[in-house]
Structure 1
Amino acid sequence: MLLLRRAVFPVVRTKCGRCFCSSPSLQMDRKGLVLGVFEKKGEKGNLQLTEAAAGFDRKVSGKLSELLKISGPGLKKGKSRIFYGIHEEFPCVAVVGLDDATAGVCGAENWDTAKENIRQAVSAGCRVLQDLEVTHVEVDGCGDAQAAAEGALLGLFQYDQLKSKKKPKVTVQPHGSADSTAWAKGVLYAEGQNLARLLMEAPANHITPTAFANTIQEKLAQHGDRVKVQKRSQAWIEEQGMGAFLSVSKGSEEPPVFLELHYNGSPDSKQAPLLLVGKGITFDSGGISLKPSASMDMMRADMGGAATVCASVVTAATLKLPINIIGLAPLCENMPSGKATKPGDVVTAKNGKTIQVDNTDAEGRLILADALCYAHTFNPRAVVNVATLTGAMDVALGSAATGVFTNSDWLWGELHKASVVTGDRVWRMPLFQHYTKQVTDSQLADLNNIGKYSRSGGACTAAAFLKEFVTSPHWAHLDIAGVMSNKDEIPYLKKGMSGRPTRTLVEFAAALAHQG
């Protein structure tokens, strides 16, 4: 077996590199263990081992407790401490801080703090072992095996498909008596989000509309008759009268694709479906209203709505949720060319409404308008569309939460409950008539795609525009522009595209499935 690159003398090393030498050097194999410790409430620095950590401590005759005491005061939330050579099976053990053992749902933060602490801590432990080139890791369930699995797999994700030198792949599994069913569920939730991250990170010359559709079709192929995938061509889009969608796609050499996914998981074939619609701009140059070149490369992820929606359908199918879901993704590029839509042009949407396109960089709402019209033909139970729609959403909420605009208190409540569980938060935004008036006051057409005052309330006017294509009493628009990427805001996601809010969509669908 390949050994690590150097022998290690210290028995324990903290994340900051402090060493405590008390045993001879030893060579480690490539297996590691992540264990959790809580901090007793009101007793700073007083650590309490999890059930799995306590069991491990008994196996090593109290050596773990002893080393924790001598290695320094306390262990802060999300921080790790590495111990070497204290157990033959696990030469490398990462102990991670879980903070308060009594933590739960926090109304101020709108999430389950205990679950978030576990995700953060487990991801930190797995990453430090990954850095040590450990390739197999067992993970303490820390009292919530689903959250632990999510933290492990989300934390280890990396997009290195196009690099010649790759980090070693790390396999993870639950340790000891962790709930295997909950762990398996967490793995699927995390893999769903990682699929969305994979699609969003890929360069636009690799994930074209056609390549995107083919990737999702391959992912769903294993589910047989329960899933039907239809890749609608430009001819079909034209037959449907989707003039708004076509106006965006015509500036590109890449043909548009309207991807339609049907997951039939309910035993009641007549059950009204949940409709998920995702914006699928696989690259957004802004069109004739060209974006500045700085950071334009990030616009490879302007299909984040389609990525999260399609990944959610894949995950629902893998979980075999007893619900019918239809996923729609209008896919195209927004490019400048002699054929591209010009500012001031008027186009006609599927429902017959005319739209004055004053800014070709406000293209997401155009493709969604036609997709929403089509969505309503299925008499859905609810319609949820997801889109990296406006920079204004990033200004309003940053990366703290997805902005939700909805005409339904019930739908808002369900989405909010799901987000508390996943920690991938949502926040309700207004849909006042004030904003509707701004998009319906158009010089040349029924609607204007940027509204009367383009810089004021941009996320709200975009939502008001979409509302003009909605007839369902239960509709929500999720603007994910602010949560599209991650720097260091979410500790268990590395820098890069986030894949948010895939887990929230899956949790929402799962809750809906169990309501019948």
Structure 2
Amino acid sequence: MMLANRVAIAFHRNVHFYKRIRVTTAWKDAGGYEDTRIPRPIGCMSSVGQFRHFAIKCDEPCVVKGVVIGVYSKEGEREPKLTSSGEKFDDRAQGKISDLVRETQMKGDLGKGMVFMNVDPEFSAVAVVGLGQEGAGYNDLEMIDEGMENARVAAGVGARALQLQGVNEVYVDSMEYPEQAAEGSALAIWRYNSNRRKQDRTQIPKLELYDSPEMDAWTRGLFKAESQNLARRLSDAPANQMTPTIFAQSTVDALCPCGVSVDIRSMDWIEENRLNSFLMVAKGSCEPPVVLEVNYCGTAPEDKPILLLGKGITYNSGGLCLRPKKCMQLYRGCMAGAAVCVATIRAAAALSLPLNISAVLPLCENMPSGMAVKPGDVVTLLNGKTMGIKDVSKAGVVVMADPLLYAQANFKPRLVVDIATMSYGVCCGLGGSAAGIFSNSNFVYKQFEKAGGLTGDRVWRLPLWNYFKRLISPTLTYDINNRGRGPASSCIAAAILHELVPCVDWAHLDIRNVGMITQYAPLPYLLRDRMTGRPTRTIIQFLYQMACPDNK
């Protein structure tokens, strides 16, 4: 019996159009007709009108199901091989999937595949996606578990392809890594739709695990991906829709239902606690500044917490040192560090991690006005040191200085991790490949390195040498200069923060290159030119390793 009117859609990762390819359309034996339409690229909407659409009256929304199946690449004389779940689906479809893989000459290359229509009566579309080499594991040179990352890529590319076909219920093959398949697919189908009309919004399909008993791992993956998507939503919102006050309310809405306490500190409290470096930047804007104190208690209350500090400049115009207009809109993402902190704590609560986490999030805008901080101003920090503000556009270390000192004194943490979109220098050095990490502890760095390899969102250690300390005190007028000397801006910012954490294990994550707009070879399961929410999953994995050191 001829296969029912099958149309395949080929797709390639990092390519932003899809080609509709005829496989076979003859199904006269089934009472149909032979389709003679010429395949066209569907990168523009004009080609969509060539295909017939049918309206069906439904009392309830129609469910359109699709499934993502993985296929391993061809090795030597061996043909591409379906995953175990894929083989079961192929048996169910009477061998049609393996026939189509041969017919279309699929090689199983990572992120490449096709969508087949009308192959199965239950699933209107089947995405078969390449997983690359079977048995891939940890690659020491790449510092990444390639098997896990391949599952994310294949699941993400397949889920997105089905989403573009109007599928609203996507079943995903575990591809031997159900947690990673959940992450890739949930990250790939997410869209920032808040400012579109309801009828114009991209539909976010429901995700389900296909033919696997490992629901716990799948659910963990969804938790982690949804947390990263929360960070993406907070970071991607326009600045007028994510002011410090709105960010604070969004944090309450996200965390309080999970049993996390959130304290919102207003201007009076900030002045009373003498967070003067933070106030110097905040007073240039009409938007009132806010400091959030977030506490998650996963173990005994007397246990020392891990402290997270997130830079929360909800819009950074550069102040009186105004930034170029070309990239001005990107700096709504300068609160990505605070967004990642909120998302991380939400995931920790959802996963019930057995450790205590505290976070301090200073939220403000950096704007030019008659009240704005001026180049050359000097502020006295809580530890008695003075900081000169040579460059107002480099407000990150200024905003974080006093909150960092305050948090250490009040929470007495066992470890401090600060996350900030700090400096363009890390973009030049690492592109979008990895977040820059600075740490005074080899153990802490090794844990982050391990976490990055498992999540596919890597970190790369940058130097924290005394050489850079000499660059932040260039004059006898004050103790610290917020700009320093020389082009190593990321290292200079880290050296300034290091001066403020003398007696505790500490790590500084500079996410300027990975946490803001995706510009440099984006991951296949993240959207180009949108905020990324990175490295949320890496920090979640790091916290898990700290909470459960005996678990692999």
Check whether TM > 0.5: yes
> Which stretch shifts more, 476-485 or 183-192?
476-485
Aligned to 2:103: 70
SS at match of 1:245: helix
Determine whether 1:502 maps to 2:536. yes
Structure 1 unmatched runs, 5+:
1-7
- Picking from 7, 10, 15, the partner of 1:14 is 10
Determine whether 1:220 maps to 2:251. no
- Picking from 129, 146, 149, the partner of 2:182 is 149
How far, CA to CA, are the matches of 1:420 and 1:42 in structure 2?
29
The alpha carbon displacement at 1:437 in A equals: 0.8
- Picking from 260, 271, 274, the partner of 2:306 is 274
Aligned to 2:16: none
1:197-276 to 2 correspondences below 5 Å: 197-224=232-259, 227-266=260-299, 268-276=300-308
How far, CA to CA, are the matches of 1:73 and 1:87 in structure 2?
20
Letter in 1 for 2:224: Y
Task: Write the deviation string for residues 265-297 of structure 1: whole angstroms up to 9, x where unpaired.
Answer: 11x222110111100000000001111111110
> Which stretch shifts more, 472-481 or 482-491?
482-491
- Picking from 142, 167, 172, the partner of 1:134 is 167
Task: Write the deviation string for residues 147-173 of structure 1: whole angstroms up to 9, x where unpaired.
Answer: 000011000011111011111221111
Structure 1 residue ranges (4+ consecutive) displaced by more than 6 angstroms after TM superposition: 25-29
> Which stretch shifts more, 365-374 or 244-253?
365-374
How far, CA to CA, are the matches of 1:29 and 1:440 in structure 2?
64
1:56-67 to 2 correspondences below 5 Å: 56-67=89-100
Letter in 2 for 1:508: F
Equivalent pair of 1:408/1:473 in contact (CA under 8 Å): no
How far, CA to CA, are the matches of 2:81 and 2:306 in structure 1?
44
Aligned to 1:180: 215
Give the count of matched residue pairs. Answer: 503
Determine whether 1:366 maps to 2:398. yes
Determine whether 1:160 maps to 2:199. no
Task: Write the deviation string for residues 314-354 of structure 1: whole angstroms up to 9, x where unpaired.
Answer: 11111111110001110000000000010001111222211
1:63-102 to 2 correspondences below 5 Å: 63-102=96-135
Distance 1:335 1:155, change over 3 A: same
Determine whether 1:315 maps to 2:347. yes
The alpha carbon displacement at 1:29 in A equals: 6.4
- Picking from 481, 490, 498, the partner of 1:459 is 490
- Picking from 460, 482, 485, the partner of 1:427 is 460
Aligned to 1:5: none
Equivalent pair of 1:112/1:421 in contact (CA under 8 Å): yes
Aligned to 1:437: 470
TM-score between the two structures when normalised by the length of structure 2: 0.89
SS at match of 1:301: helix
How far, CA to CA, are the matches of 1:14 and 1:289 in structure 2?
49
The alpha carbon displacement at 1:23 in A equals: 4.5
Letter in 2 for 1:468: E
> Which stretch shifts more, 75-84 or 191-200?
75-84
Equivalent pair of 1:13/1:20 in contact (CA under 8 Å): no
SS at match of 2:20: coil
Aligned to 2:147: 114
Task: Write the deviation string for residues 165-187 of structure 1: whole angstroms up to 9, x where unpaired.
Answer: 11122111100125100000000
Equivalent pair of 2:258/2:346 in contact (CA under 8 Å): no
TM-score between the two structures when normalised by the length of structure 1: 0.95
How far, CA to CA, are the matches of 2:150 and 2:485 in structure 1?
45
- Measured on the aligned residues, the alpha-carbon RMSD in Å equals 1.6
How far, CA to CA, are the matches of 2:275 and 2:475 in structure 1?
20
Letter in 2 for 1:123: G
Structure 2 unmatched runs, 5+:
12-18, 34-53, 55-61
Task: Write the deviation string for residues 18-61 of structure 1: whole angstroms up to 9, x where unpaired.
Answer: 22115536989611011111114445x72111011000111122
Aligned to 1:384: 417
> Which stretch shifts more, 243-252 or 163-172?
163-172
Aligned to 1:512: 546
The alpha carbon displacement at 1:441 in A equals: 2.5
The percentage of counterpart residues that share the same residue type is 41
Distance 1:29 1:277, change over 3 A: closer
Letter in 2 for 1:397: L
Aligned to 1:305: 337
SS at match of 1:198: helix
Equivalent pair of 2:72/2:109 in contact (CA under 8 Å): no
Equivalent pair of 1:364/1:389 in contact (CA under 8 Å): yes
- Picking from 364, 373, 382, the partner of 1:332 is 364
SS at match of 1:263: strand
The alpha carbon displacement at 1:91 in A equals: 1.9
